[in-house]
Structure 1
Amino acid sequence: MSLDAKADSFKTRRKHFMERIAAGATAILPSAPVAIRSGDVEFIYRQDSDFYYLTGFAEPESVAVFSPGHPDGEFVLFVRPRDRERETWTGRRAGIEGAMIDHGADKAYTIDELEKILPRYLEKSERVHYPLGLNEKFDERVLKMVRWAQAMRPRLGVGPTVLIDPRDIIHEARLMKEEAEIAAMRRAMEISREAHRQAMLKARGGMKEWQIEAEVNYAFRSQGAAGPSYPTIIASGPNAATLHYIQNDREMRTGELLLIDAGAEYDYYAADITRTSPIGAKFTQLQRDLYQVVLDAQLKAIDVIKPGARFDDPHNVALRVLVDGMRGLGMLQGSADEILESASYRRFYMHRTSHWLGMDVHDVGLYRVGGASRVLEPGMVLTVEPGLYIDRDDDTVPESFRGIGIRIEDDILVTANGHEVMTAATPKTIADVEALTAG
């Protein structure tokens, strides 16, 4: 997307946001704080998703203020000043001019002017929108200014009477993806697909998990992604039964299963793909049987995704298929209804089947509305990721089952007429997987 098109997109989002908070309100959004890795070394900076969604401004130590109809400017940015000496060390800053020219702010000030300028907005606002709890130190600064504005209310006849969390408004907007957002996610998924293909192709017994992690993350960066959208999971053998295993330091063995949960982040948007494959071999019969149960569950869950369906529908469908499959393999005893009612399946399947996907891998948006599972609408993107996980020490199943973990995950766009599997090109049928692992 061109820079002009991106600027227009951010402008439109701000317009809709200010229409929602309406005149007589001021919203304050802080940037993500810089995080220290150790000593004086910082983590690579990544802007807060809500802040970036409305501003397109990627620098730290920034504050965005939105005040519909305010005569001094509706969209104001407080940013770091230009500083030639600091920029020599850490890179060029936008400064006040860049905040207005390149990022569309009506007015911009240096961040150290916040206490001087922001009260001008608060004293004329009945409602203040601010996300308490993100940054305790900044909370104190904002609340001090809000209290001052409240104290001035008897004299001015106007001032804050209520503090509102703006995230409900922002998150509902982020849940419904624009075309530009979908395009960024498609690119993240294309990059991730190639990473998964290369990993299946290259994984061999005797390699360490971290070698495959390096292949995956190299594929991300070499194709223009910012890197992983979450810590890359490379789980071989019994490690695959740990849901969020990220140590990635075990030596892999030929014929074991390798679970890779990895997605790239491209232009602030995430992919989230999981594939499970045999290491340098074909599936054994038991591996094939277990894998087919998970694949059947996933395919049937995806089939029910369409406008008007409920968010919980894919999970309920996948769960029934998994339970029937586990009964057929002798992992669970009793009728399917008894197993579902007692939740005895949770020993082997302990998580939900889906989550929202977008700027964050576990993206924002309500899963329940009015006490009921949310109705799916076009523009929503969700994952479908059933699995089976058998602990290496589980003596309730035959020894041959123990230490096996299988998960298959795809990213699904709800369309006007049904759904689109955005990650369909990433190999997952038994034949396609074996063509890479045993070729």
Structure 2
Amino acid sequence: MMNQPFPQDIYAKRRQRLAISMREKSGGGILILETAAEVYRNRDSDFPYRHDSDFYYLTGFNEPGATLVMTVSPKEVHTHLFCRPKDLEREIWDGWRLGPEAAPQYLGLDSAESIEKIDALIPAYIENQRAIYTRMIQGSFDSAQLNQWLKKVKAGARNGSATPEVLFDAEALIHEMRLFKDAHEIDIMRRAGKIAAAGHIRAMQHAKPGLHEYHLEAELLHTFRYNGAQSVAYNTIVAGGANACVLHHRAGHAQLKDGDLCLIDAGCELDGYASDITRTFPVNGKFTGPQKAIYELVLASQYAAIEKTKAGLDFQAPHEAALRVLTQGLMDLGLINKKETADLDNALELKAYQRFYMHRTSHWLGMDVHDVGEYRDPQSSTNPRSWRLLEPGMVLTIEPGLYIRKADDIHADYWDIGIRIEDDALVTNDACDLLSREVPVSIEEIEYLMKQSS
């Protein structure tokens, strides 16, 4: 219900920026963007509803059953919302609806109608437009529905109506905008990072041999919701022992054992924005010698990547920095056979690290945990295109790791050690601002925290 002021100007500015991009690309046109559909879980039960990120980015509206229509001419922009009508009976069961009568004034749009009227009314918006902007990969509408609208427009050709001749992918424009976070977004992501950090600390404090992975997941979920986050940002990973070598291991029934490590990769979603943190710690509160050696190596590689996360360097720079540290460390520990690699550069060229480190060091972060935006320079004409330069306002994760599975050619002391350390970094002019560093990260800090808790 409308119990707090709605920041109309934030979403209006985004729509204006999109309108400018549409004019530059095609002289204008019509944007048709639908929000996410409700998904049923089984019989009379549905999954918790989550809006479409692009739609929410432009409207701030989080109800299902809605479509944004924006017409852009060389001089004017008109924004129209199709949304669910007020329905007292359904609102008793499912909750309050904004409704088309209140939507324009509350959301700062020009007009609104019931979603039930979209098929009858939208052809009038489409006719005489230069181009249509909608989703091309995961379509807002099935082709049959869009074809029906276009057929109605073409039927009016004898009366002088023109049909758009070009179809553009709206995501290409919106996702480039979303890559650069504004002050409003950064504030939310900073708060999301604090909540997620509190969850990780609580999980560390409660960890002890004999508990199960799901016990620590419960501590995380409790902290997220207690502090106001609406949901998890992704399926929570709690992985004890050998499970830590499975990159996307879901928190399950496995017991946390004395002497094992526990890897937790968990983040919350706050007001539509994700946090993403990973920490690895000893279940009994004390790292063994081999665990400490691998942990220190991963942490050193993260520090190296952090140093390369700043404006002017490219997206690949943090990954390459982490790889050099990890690969040299693996060679020093004897986990990479020096006889098979002449030196560090040769080991990197042969990707000798890939057995133990098989994912990248970073991904964009924002409304989606693996957020949108090009990783390659969109202006580059080379093949393959060069990595894009980091710029202020971008947010990315920094998450190196090592995963050492049981194998005959690996010393038993290192078997089943899986370690990942991940933080969320806001790119600034001369460095990066870590939004998630309130969780202990050094061996000393982690062991001290767990000792105090016990």
Interval of TM-score (by shorter of Structure 1 and Structure 2)? over 0.9
Residue 319 of structure 1, aligned match among 323, 327, 333: 323
**Within 2, Cα distance between the matches of 1:51 and 1:101?**
18
Corresponding residue of 1:11: 12
Shift of residue 340 of structure 1?
1.5
Residue identity in the other structure for 2:369: V
| 1:18-417 correspondence to structure 2 within 5 Å | 18-22=19-23, 24-69=28-73, 74-135=78-139, 138-150=142-154, 152-153=156-157, 156=160, 158-333=162-337, 334=341, 335-369=343-377, 370=380, 371-392=385-406, 394-417=407-430
Change (3 A) 1:96 1:307: same
User: 1:75, 1:236 → 2: CA distance?
Assistant: 51
Rounded to whole Å, the distance in 2 between the matches of 1:396 and 1:249 is 30
Q: Secondary structure at the match of 1:372?
A: coil
Amino acid in structure 2 at the alignment position of 1:103: L
- SS class of match (2:63): coil
Distance 2:287 2:163 in 1: 68
Contact 2:231 2:268 in 1 (8 A): yes
Aligned length: 437
Give the Cα separation in 2 of the matches to 1:5 and 1:114.
Answer: 26
* Distance in 2 separating the partners of 1:385 and 1:137: 37
What's the CA shift string for 1:221-279, capped at 9, x where partnerless?
Answer: 00000121011110010000000001422000122101000111111111000000001
3-state DSSP of counterpart to 2:132: strand
Q: Aligned-pair distance for 1:71?
A: 11
SS in 2 for 1:33: coil
Task: Render the CA deviation track for 1:308-367: whole Å, top value 9, x for unaligned.
Answer: 100000000100100001001110022222222222321100000000000110000000
Change (3 A) 1:145 1:354: same
SS of the equivalent of 1:102 reads: helix
Could you tell me whether the CA contact under 8 Å between 2:242 and 2:405 is conserved in 1?
yes
In the alignment, residue 386 of structure 2 is paired with which amino acid? A
The reply to whether residue 434 of structure 1 matches residue 447 of structure 2 is: yes
> What TM-score results when the alignment is normalised by the length of structure 1?
0.96
Q: What displacement does 1:153 show? A: 5.0
What is the CA distance between 1:98 and its match in structure 2? 2.4
Change (3 A) 1:301 1:71: closer
The letter of the residue matching 1:414 is V
Could you tell me how far 1:137 is from its partner in structure 2? 5.7
Shift of 1:40: 2.5
3-state secondary structure, aligned to 2:107: coil
Counterpart residue type for residue 256 of structure 2: M
Look up the equivalent residue of 1:111 and give its one-letter code: I
Q: 1:341 to 1:154 in 2, by over 3 A?
A: farther
> Contact 2:217–2:251 (CA<8 Å) still a contact in 1?
no
Is the 8 Å Cα contact of residues 280 and 438 (structure 1) preserved in structure 2?
no
Residues 337-346 or 225-234, more deviating: 337-346
Alpha-carbon distance in 2 for matches of 1:71, 1:80 = 30
Cα distance between partner residues in 1 of 2:158 and 2:345: 64
Alpha-carbon spacing, 1:125–1:256, altered in 2? closer, same or farther (3 Å): same
Tell me, what secondary structure is at the counterpart of 2:389?
A: coil
Structure 1 residues 305, 255: CA separation in 2 closer, same or farther (over 3 Å shift)?
A: same
**TM-score, L = length of structure 2:** 0.93
CA deviation map 1:196-224 (0-9, x unaligned): 11111110000010000000010000000
> How many angstroms does 1:157 deviate by?
5.9
AA at the equivalent of 1:388:
L
Equivalent-residue separation in structure 1 for 2:291 and 2:207 (angstroms): 17
Residue 424 of structure 1 and its aligned partner are, at CA, apart by 1.9
Q: Secondary structure in 2 aligned to 1:109?
A: strand
Task: Write the distance in 1 (CA, Å) between the matches of 2:418 and 2:105.
Answer: 52
- C-alpha distance in structure 2 between counterparts of 1:247 and 1:200, whole Å: 15
CA RMSD across the alignment? 1.9
Letter in 2 for 1:10: Y
The aligned amino acid for 2:372 is: V
Q: Is the 8 A contact 1:294 1:322 kept in 2?
A: yes
CA distance in 2, matches of 1:420, 1:153: 56
> 1:381-437: CA deviations, max 9, x gaps?
000000001123x22211221111000001111112321112122110111011122
- Opposite residue 185 of structure 1, the aligned amino acid is M
Moved more, 15-24 or 299-308: 15-24
Give the distance between the partners of 2:414 and 2:75, measured in 1 at CA: 69
Which consecutive residues of structure 1, in runs of 5 or more, have no partner in the other structure? none
For 2:206 and 2:91, locate their aligned partners in 1 and report how far apart those are by CA, in whole Å: 42
SS of alignment partner, residue 360 of structure 1 = coil
Report how far residue 159 of structure 1 moved: 2.1
Deviation of residue 173 (structure 1)?
0.7
| Partner in structure 1 of residue 435 of structure 2 | 422
CA distance in 1, matches of 2:314, 2:151: 43
Deviation at 1:194, TM superposition (A): 0.7
Q: Is the 8 A contact 1:277 1:437 kept in 2?
A: no
- CA distance in 1: counterparts of 2:158 and 2:317, whole angstroms: 53
